[in-house]
Amino acid sequence: MDDFLTELDLTAQAELVRTDQVQPRELVEQAIERIERLDPVLNVMVHRQYERALTDATAALPDGPFRGVPFLFKDYRCREAGEPYSMGMRALRDIGFRASSDAPLALAFRAAGLIPLGRTNTPELASVGTCEPVAYGPTHNPWDLERTPGGSSGGSAAAVAARLVAGAHANDISGSIRIPSGHCGLVGLKPSRGRAIASIASDARTGMNTEGAVTRTVRDAAALLDAISVPGSQPLLPAVARELPALRIGLWTHAFNGSTVDAGNAEAAEHCASLLEGLGGSVEISAPTPLSDPAFWKAAATVLAVNLATEVETWSAKIGRSLGEDDLEATTWRMVTTGRATTAVELLAAMSALIEHTEATEPWWQRFDVLITPTTAGPPTLLGDYTKGYESGRGSAFTRPFNVTGQPAVSIPLGWPDDGLPVTVWIGESGGPRWRAAVRRRIARDAFHAWTAAGVPERFMFVSDSANAMVHVLWRRQLPDRRAGQVTRQTDAQGWLRSAVVELSVRNMLGGLQDTTTLRAVALHEIGHVIGLEHSPDERDIMAPWVVARQISERDRATAGAIYGVGFYEDDR
């Protein structure tokens, strides 16, 4: 099977299965082949369950929104009965620990029709913002193999960025969805507190952890959250296509914890605010001041240390022996020691401080709808440097406060500096209005133009008819392929795109559309807009976006609408 299917997002793959154009086993086999081809370079996988996945692919699957689509679980929470479960810990790895029950979250993912292929790498007990556990070794960032993909959901993020799968489970207690999404150029949505099904009862221990996923598209992020939301939640996916009101936008590029911020990261946030301002929003340099209070950060660190110490005690009881310094990595042990030394009075004081600071942010949210910051204060660190002179807190400098307040937040790709590493912005939301998915969608679409200006391979440049109305994309410049293991080739695209070396997919723009004539017209129009052509290679294929929109069915229009972050919209006149 061609590798082009790996460019499809979860929703597009599910549509192929639903319409019998692809069988689940084909998708699973291709994902397995790609994992085995690229994982020796990336080191994403810590456990493979291929035989079970292949069996699932040929059995009767739940009729969920992602029926038959491959997926990966992060090896932290989201356990499955009978499967290895170690959470980056040598002690659990060495005894071959297997879970005795299914986490409710794992059951929810399976009920959506997803087929787990295995578990991804994570730092020990998901406790730091990199992915370099001693137990399994470092995971490499697909955009730069010498750098970390971030953490703690680094294995999942690297897998999705490298197109091993189109989406993967992740969770976030200080930024662990958003940080690796930022370092790998993905969409990382941290849901509101209590929105997603908890993976274990102790998620409520601090109130700071939430479950979710890392994806490549906004629509997948919304649809996955809908699939794992607690009963009674209002669906998020329909909000993706809604129009935006005039937003009141706070922009902040100073790290809440005082860390230094790289200029490129700050500029990406400023550009994001400018895009939203162009859509009718108002922008003010402002942020809730309680989030920058050192007492807020000290209290959060205390709660996290106690949480980690409690988790170690829990696992000590499970395996029948006390886990000590020799069993844990140095960074983990320092946090555990701090947590164990914290008294109950000190813990309650810290938790009270977090509640008080959260309440103190309310006046700010009466004046603003969204807060825009960089996702991280700097680029991903070189592997091995995170605990060696690394400025502590740069990864979570912007993200941790929203774990405390419980508000939703999302990381969106919106920049590409000269070093070739993706840069994302972080959008925090008040948690009430239903326009927030539309915010992500419009920002993601305009991100395409930011990436173009930075010289990044465009997501589309040429459309050709092919089986199942699928399309291929070619970029006409000789650029190094930044993704590990991706095959490049020379292609003559109708004589006018002649040095095409990076093959991506216009399905990132219009996944799932069935009318290839319309696809061709849209893509050629966008080519002219992006690279400034005065005329098209084929004038017959050019039509204004509003004309094209009228010729697309309601179903396909919904599929095309900005959900992929680039392309056209019905309201573009």
Find the mean pLDDT for residues 102-126: 97
- 449 with 473, same domain: the answer is no
- 222 with 116, same domain: the answer is yes
**Distance in angstroms (rounded) separating the CA atoms of residues 213 and 216:** 10
Which DSSP letter does residue 406 get? -
Whether the pLDDT of residue 238 is over 80: the answer is yes
Residues contacting residue 71 through CB under 8 Å, at least 6 positions apart: 10, 109, 114, 115, 116, 117, 165, 167, 168, 169
How far, CA to CA in Å, does 524 sit from each of 235, 504, 540? 34, 16, 10
Tell me whether residue 86 is in a domain. Answer: yes
Q: How many CB atoms lie within 10 A of CB 534?
A: 5
Residue 211 domain boundaries: 3-292+358-453
User: What is the model's pTM?
Assistant: 0.79
- 113 with 161, same domain: the answer is yes
Q: Which residue has the tokens 């930011």?
A: 450
Which DSSP letter does residue 98 get? B
- 63 with 10, same domain: the answer is yes
**Banded model confidence at residue 555, pLDDT cuts 50, 70, 90:** very low
Find the mean pLDDT for residues 54-71: 98
- 154 with 240, same domain: the answer is yes
**Distance in angstroms (rounded) separating the CA atoms of residues 101 and 76:** 14
Tell me whether residue 479 is in a domain. Answer: yes
Whether the pLDDT of residue 204 is over 70: the answer is no
Phi, psi at 371, each rounded to 5°: -120, 130
Closest residue by Cα to residue 174 from 375, 368, 421, 329:
375
Specify whether the CB–CB gap between 442 and 247 falls below 8 A.
no
Number of H helices, E strands in the chain: 19, 13
Tell me whether residue 545 is in a domain. Answer: yes
**What are 169-179's pLDDT values in tens digits?**
999 999 999 99
Whether the pLDDT of residue 200 is over 80: the answer is no
**Banded model confidence at residue 244, pLDDT cuts 50, 70, 90:** confident
Find the mean pLDDT for residues 535-551: 31
Tell me whether residue 162 is in a domain. Answer: yes
Percent of the chain with pLDDT over 70: 72
Whether the pLDDT of residue 229 is over 90: the answer is yes
The answer to which of 7-21, 105-119, 325-339, 449-463 has the lowest mean pLDDT is 449-463
**What are 341-392's pLDDT values in tens digits?**
999 999 999 999 999 999 999 999 999 999 999 999 999 999 999 877 656 6
Specify whether the CB–CB gap between 420 and 451 falls below 8 A.
no
Looking at every residue in the chain, the average pLDDT score rounds to 79
- 253 with 115, same domain: the answer is yes
**Distance in angstroms (rounded) separating the CA atoms of residues 201 and 187:** 27
How far, CA to CA in Å, does 549 sit from each of 11, 217, 530, 544? 21, 21, 19, 9
**Banded model confidence at residue 203, pLDDT cuts 50, 70, 90:** low
**What are 331-344's pLDDT values in tens digits?**
999 999 999 999 99
Q: How many CA atoms lie within 13 A of 540 on its CB side?
A: 1
**Distance in angstroms (rounded) separating the CA atoms of residues 573 and 545:** 7
- 480 with 437, same domain: the answer is no
Tell me whether residue 203 is in a domain. Answer: yes
| Continuous segment of H or E residues that includes residue 74 | strand 70-74
The answer to which of 301-305, 503-507, 521-525 has the lowest mean pLDDT is 503-507
- 425 with 477, same domain: the answer is no
**Distance in angstroms (rounded) separating the CA atoms of residues 441 and 41:** 32
Percent of the chain with pLDDT over 90: 65
Dump strand ranges (E) for 385-472.
409-415, 423-429
- 247 with 166, same domain: the answer is yes
**Considering 420, 453, 486, which residue would you say is the last residue of a domain?**
453
Name the 3-class secondary structure at 162: coil
By DSSP bridging, strand 115-120 and strand 70-74 are parallel
CATH code of the domain containing 195: 3.90.1300.10
Residues labelled catalytic:
74, 152, 176
Phi, psi at 542, each rounded to 5°: -100, 130
- 548 with 401, same domain: the answer is no
3-state helix/strand/coil string of 491-528:
CCECCCECCCCEEECCHHHHCCCCCHHHHHHHHHHHHH
**Distance in angstroms (rounded) separating the CA atoms of residues 298 and 483:** 39
Specify whether the CB–CB gap between 493 and 520 falls below 8 A.
no
**For the stretch 89-126, what's the b/e string if a residue is b when 16 or more beta carbons lie within 10 angstroms of its beta carbon?**
bbbbbeeebeeeeebbbbebbbbbbbbbbbbbbbbbbb
Tell me whether residue 338 is in a domain. Answer: no
**Considering 453, 487, 508, which residue would you say is the last residue of a domain?**
453
- Residue 2: per-residue pLDDT: 59
By DSSP bridging, strand 423-429 and strand 370-374 are antiparallel
Q: How many CB atoms lie within 10 A of CB 429?
A: 22
Specify whether the CB–CB gap between 6 and 30 falls below 8 A.
yes
Tell me whether residue 458 is in a domain. Answer: no
- Please tell me the total count of domains within the chain: 2
Tell me whether residue 333 is in a domain. Answer: no
- 59 with 171, same domain: the answer is yes
- 493 with 398, same domain: the answer is no
**Considering 401, 428, 453, which residue would you say is the last residue of a domain?**
453
